[in-house]
Chains A and B, each alone.
Chain A
Amino acid sequence: MKHIDLQTDIGKIKLKNPVITASGTFGYGREFEELIDLNRLGAIIVKGLSLKPAKGNPPPRIVETSCGMLNAIGLENIGIEAFIKQKLPFLEQLSTPTLVNIYGKSVEEYADLAARIDEVEGIAGIEINISCPNVKTGGIAFGVDPESAAEVVRAVRTRTTKPLMVKLSPNVTDITEIARSAEDAGADSLSLINTITGMAIDIETRHPKLANITGGLSGPAIKPVALRMVWQVAQTVKIPVIGIGGIMKAEDALEFLIAGAVAVQVGTANFVNPCSTIEITEGIEAFLAERKISSVRDIIGTLEV
């Protein structure tokens, strides 16, 4: 087989392949060490971090639904300082870049996180989470309004020179409006979509199946919605777009690339098959080889309508 070039760029971040692990589905990376070669990943995005450790939501936190799952973890994490001390040294040894997903309860918290991360060499970039549907303050509060989103991005931008990826919520009327707003505020790339707010009810007890009542829907069930939004946003902005939503296999990832994503994030699939990311990368390579396409860049944004 002829060598296939899988390299892709997210602005200044060079990736050896377009397959990234989605925040919240890959722990702090090391959890998967025994099962896959972490050096074969395009990038690792770790669990969403806050300034202080966060306990997260009460259980039950997850429920399976048709072709997907709802989660309301509530951004449980060890906090930025513990991450830098305990988790980052392992990640730094890898040839795969690490991006840190951050969320705050206020604009200041986002900015303070960015300033702290700016001091740390081993972190390749920041993914700003303005789209978690499971925490009451912070997260989604900033992601559904173009002006609030811009305010967070601007505040973070002034405190760091690291590449900024902004993770968008699908729980909005017009995602291109938020996308444009984040781009204008200084985002280097956009990742989408985060989970879609949903719920499930136990008809016997008449209680919601999640203690948080609502949760974020992920998995194959959301892929068509995600794909549509990625396609819309890719046509709207000039900065790179990273596709996320229900990617289980190489064919799913290829759809996102054709729709205009320069890379993809694999999330829920990591739970179902911990080797998903590697299998998807190999599948993309095989697809390109069979069609004699020498570079993955030659397929990005090639949708014909």
Chain B
Amino acid sequence: MFQEKNQVLWNENISGSYYKIGLTCNKGYSDAHPGQFITLRFGDDIARLLRRPFSIHRLITKDDCIKGIELLYKVVGTCTQKLSSYKKGNIIDLLGPLGNGFVIPDNVRRIFIVAGGIGVAPMFFLASSIQKTGIDLSECQVFIGGRSKHDILCKDDFLSMGITADITTDDGSAGKKGLITVPLESEIKKNRPDIIYACGPPAMLNAVAQIAEKYATPCQISIETIMACGMGACLGCAVESKTDPDKYLHVCKNGPVFDSGLLRI
């Protein structure tokens, strides 16, 4: 875990309200896991007091050396609006890497990745890590869902890695019209995956967790909650545990990635 003032390497609008920002980072980020997150503080403004969490989208490397991290974000409020105005060379307060990421068990071969909306952000990093383990990516599939075609991100990134992509949108403007869980379930029926990884809105995660349970397939989900510190001090990010009624789990410390069976979403 490092807290440093880092430089903006780039900050580009990729479509609609979605941006990718590159930041320099500590060398220690070379050990970061997909699913881990960072928090940003936007200057000394106290009107919006709290830091904001973002999952790591990509490690920026050159000759196997870490040069920075990239975040994929959507402008949704005051802070992300402000973030979108940062220019190359600006300085930003970065704290991370935080939390527990996705775990890729040794024996998995066939992997399904499910990403809803901005939930795709950590999934590209995950796919890159899967690729590094030597798993045959042509055995893997990604399911990307969004409200409309503007909310379908990173499709080409996955395709270029050799991962098949299934697209669904609420309005049918890209891929099939409907919920992401429809193609997910039909593909599971055809050929059972060894593991499912998912990130997206709570309703989607809940549906994916139920499908995983139905087909007795291991499933890891990355969830988001409001949090103040991001490092286990404030205990603000409590989530209900399925296995221990006497204790809450904390997203920043126990998660943000959990086995789907552990959580009451």
Contacts and interface: CB of A to CB of B under 8 A. Distances in A.
A66 B47 contact: yes
Given A27-B233, A69-B228, 13 more contacts: A25-B229, A25-B233, A25-B234, A31-B229, A59-B248, A62-B228, A62-B234, A62-B236, A66-B47, A271-B234, A272-B41, A272-B49, A274-B231
Among A26, A56, A274, the most chain B Cβ lie within 10 Å of the Cβ of A274
B239 interface: yes
A56 B237 CA distance: 12
A35 B26 CA distance: 13
Interface of A: 24-27, 31-32, 34-35, 47, 53, 55-56, 58-64, 66-69, 71, 73, 76, 219-220, 248, 268, 270-275
B47 A271 contact: no
Contacts, number: 97
B225 interface: yes
A236 to B, nearest CB: 30
A78 B238 CA distance: 15
Contacts of B229: 25, 31, 270-271, 274
B248 A55 contact: yes
A273 B94 CA distance: 10
Interface in B234-262: 234-240, 246-248
A135 B246 CA distance: 17
A242 to B, nearest CB: 20
A7 B85 CA distance: 44
A31 B248 contact: no
Nearest to A77: B235
Interface residues of A, dominant DSSP: loop
19 contacts: A26-B233, A31-B232, A34-B2, A35-B2, A55-B247, A56-B248, A61-B235, A61-B237, A62-B237, A64-B48, A68-B49, A69-B50, A69-B228, A73-B236, A73-B238, A76-B235, A220-B46, A220-B49, A271-B51
A59 B238 contact: yes
A268 B49 contact: yes
Interface of B: 1-3, 41, 46-51, 93, 95, 225-229, 231-240, 246-248
Contact of A67 (B2, B41, B49, B237): B49
A27 B233 CA distance: 4
B41 A273 contact: yes
A55 B246 contact: yes
B243 to A, nearest CB: 14
Contacts of B248: 55-56, 59, 76
Contact of A62 (B2, B51, B227): B227
Contact of B49 (A31, A35, A69, A274): A69
B45 to A, nearest CB: 10
Contacts of A27: 232-233
Contacts of A56: 235, 238, 248
A64 B49 contact: yes
B13 to A, nearest CB: 26
Contacts of A58: 238, 240
Closest 5 CB pairs of A and B: A62-B236, A27-B233, A271-B228, A271-B229, A59-B238
